[in-house]
Structure 1
């Protein structure tokens, strides 16, 4: 689950609150071991996601760097190319 969490710092445009919340949700899912908490645990789960999202937003807003912001499209294109190399399409020929 956590492998879906992406780096959110130093991008142009900056990470949105939705992206931060999605990362927080993945983190809480990993910690709790569930993707859908029971009704009894839903409130605690949601509060944990809110707390992690708030902490993550505070972290991202406080970090400083001298590097130029990375371009989201460029990073995504490199990831797609790497994925295509790792998982090439399998072509089956009729015999």
Structure 2
């Protein structure tokens, strides 16, 4: 899985359109091998991002859980702590 694709389900507040778009874009980049497609592939690349975006939004609306929603700030703090343990020499801003 791409490291830059973050879980989007069961957060309060819910995932934004930008977050869903960014995840779809990262997925298409990974699968296609293009960071930026050539002009010949640009239309297909962007169409794929839009299609995946729609599917992800639909999926997020339909998923069900009994777990309480996760707090974005708490999850981000946990991620920062894991990063500090994993990469102690790196300085984070």
TM range (shorter): over 0.9
Where 2:40 maps in the other structure, the secondary structure is coil
Structure 1 length as normaliser, TM-score? 0.91
State the match for 1:55 in structure 2.
55
The alpha carbon displacement at 1:3 in A equals: 1.2
The alpha carbon displacement at 1:2 in A equals: 1.2
Structure 1: give runs of 5+ residues left out of the alignment: 91-95
Matches of 2:23 and 2:48, distance apart in 1? 12
Q: How many residues align?
A: 90
Structure 2: give runs of 5+ residues left out of the alignment: none
State the match for 1:36 in structure 2.
36
Runs (4 or more) in structure 1 with deviation over 3 Å come to none
| 1:41-84, Cα deviation, whole Å (9 max, x unpaired) | 00000000000000000000110111100000000000000101
